[in-house]
Chains A and B, each alone.
Chain A
Amino acid sequence: MSEEKEILVENEKSPSDTGNGDKTESVSKRRRICDLCRNRAEGTGNVLEENVLVDARNVSMKFRILTEKIDNMKEYFIKLLKGKIRHEDFWAVKEVSLKVYKGESVALIGRNGAGKSTLLKMISGIFEPTEGKILTQGNMVPLLKLGAGFDMDATGKENVYLNGAMLGFTKKEMDKKYDSIVAFSELEKFMSVPLKNYSAGMLARLGFSIAVDVNPDILLVDEILSVGDAPFRQKCAKKISELKASGVTFIVVSHSMQSVKELCEKAIWLKDGRIFMEGEVKEVADAYTLDCQQNPQRT
């Protein structure tokens, strides 16, 4: 029975991952459920083990890069007629497999363009992998950008609700959170001011305060572990470690080896879209730091 629940949770995730529950997907999902039932007996296939939150199996993501950007019809049809539409395939992530266990936070590290963010977006369900598949369970909240969707013309208060809706909270739920969000951001005085009059630091603080006031099982974070001035940064760090202590599993993309070592148990070093090294966070982070010092040039 408990195992069946696991499967259900896994399937509950899927529609929200892809955004829409359409027919073809629901058919394939139904098929997946059948597979699940069959595979449960064998203990393989699409069943997630109980304490695994994310299981990425051999995922790859291909982007097509047009050799020249065509965004108007004239060029498109001329080039099409001449047979000159060329794209280059670019594999941002190639054949990556990883498992994230409950309570065991993972850091994705690597140079710019190594595919860290792409991998994170695939885990969150924003990108669909070109190849391979990702199984997830539990409530997952992606925090890839602070205040994504902020409306600069609207007031701070309106934006708290707007941003909350983007993260999937109803107005009622946000009513409960509102006071603690505002208190955390220390922006009580500015909640009726349009965001365009905020300073960059204030924007970041508001975004961060909304973002951390969620209660997920998995938090996907892209380089936004702390914002603002030194005291606020400390507050952020404290909040993050509180979340961590309360059992939230983090998947973090970061260039700050120090915060990675503090927050995560495991690290995965991505290089040109492939896993270059994985293991204990200290080991991998140190190796990566050494590599950056020895080969500062991009390869």
Chain B
Amino acid sequence: MINHEKSKANALVFKKSVVIMWTMVKKNIKRQYRRSFLGVLWTVLNPLLTMLVMAFVFSQIFGRHGIDMDYPVYVLSGTIVFSLMRMGTAQALPCMVNNYDLLTKTRVPYYVFPTSSVLSSVVNFGFSLIALIIVMLIRIPNGVTFHPTMLMIFIPWLPSIFLFSLGLSFLLCTLYVRFRDVAHLYNVFLTLWMYLTPIFYSTVILPDYVQSVLKFNPMMHYLDYFRDLLLGIVPSWQEHLICYGVGIAAFLIGYLIFRWQRKKFILYI
């Protein structure tokens, strides 16, 4: 009976956290586009315009060797997948420090802050998907087709990259409490990471040794998986294993470090 009551209390706390997270996600999304003329429409326009620039620049400069996909769709899918991870983690990085007031003045559970950052970027990703679908519709004359495998984007693909981003966010925001340099380092690292992810090029054009190094880039696997789904291919079980293995590992490591350091946050901020 005691256990039953206790789990009920835990469920209540969790329910409260969900309310807070939801409110914070809404706040984050609204804040991005507040006072802009087109408002939330920018969540769709933003990836579209980025894609246009990239498709224009890179189709002229890099060529499209080894890409068996419609190039605008290829670039856009790369952009939105990478920015799902990038936005979530970059927003989560300073979240503990920014919410100092809430940490010391209210009893909001700590995990709410990084989680709501990543959730916001998932919502943004949802809007970007609309942009992707628009581009795919436009490119139908060029041979783009819709496949039922695209539904697998929501399950199982999205949870795996969510776990990965969340784990990374936990780690980063913990580090940032102690060392403010992390923000600058992570920024540089993100740029490097972006170029090491086949967003606008195909790994085929790279030398073999670079390709074998890139295998250790988790984002490449998430991206490959995503593009497979767009092409109507059900990814192999190895890909599932890699995506979920990396996701769960990142989440556990990040969360455990976060928990371990949690009590010290208020002392260092």
Contact = CB atoms under 8 A, between A and B. Distances in A.
A216 B129 CA distance: 44
Contacts of A12: 5-6, 8-9
Contacts of A15: 6, 9-10, 13
B266 interface: yes
B93 to A, nearest CB: 14
B207 to A, nearest CB: 34
Interface residues of B, number: 41
A227 interface: no
Nearest to B258: A20
A72 B181 contact: yes
B20 A19 contact: no
A171 B106 contact: no
A154 to B, nearest CB: 6
Nearest to B28: A151
A33 B13 CA distance: 19
A171 B178 CA distance: 35
Contacts of A154: 27, 30-31
B3 to A, nearest CB: 8
Nearest to B20: A165
A8 B4 CA distance: 10
A17 B109 CA distance: 9
Interface in A148-173: 148-149, 151, 153-154, 158, 161-162, 165-171
A16 B9 contact: yes
A71 B107 contact: no
A148 B23 contact: no
A192 B105 CA distance: 26
Nearest to B3: A30
A142 B105 contact: yes
Interface in A1-17: 7-8, 11-12, 15-17
Contacts of A185: none
Interface of B: 2, 5-6, 8-10, 12-13, 15-16, 19-20, 22-24, 27, 30-31, 34, 99, 101-111, 178-182, 259, 262-263, 266-267
Interface of A: 7-8, 11-12, 15-17, 19-22, 26, 29, 33, 63-64, 71-74, 76, 121, 124-128, 142, 144-145, 148-149, 151, 153-154, 158, 161-162, 165-171
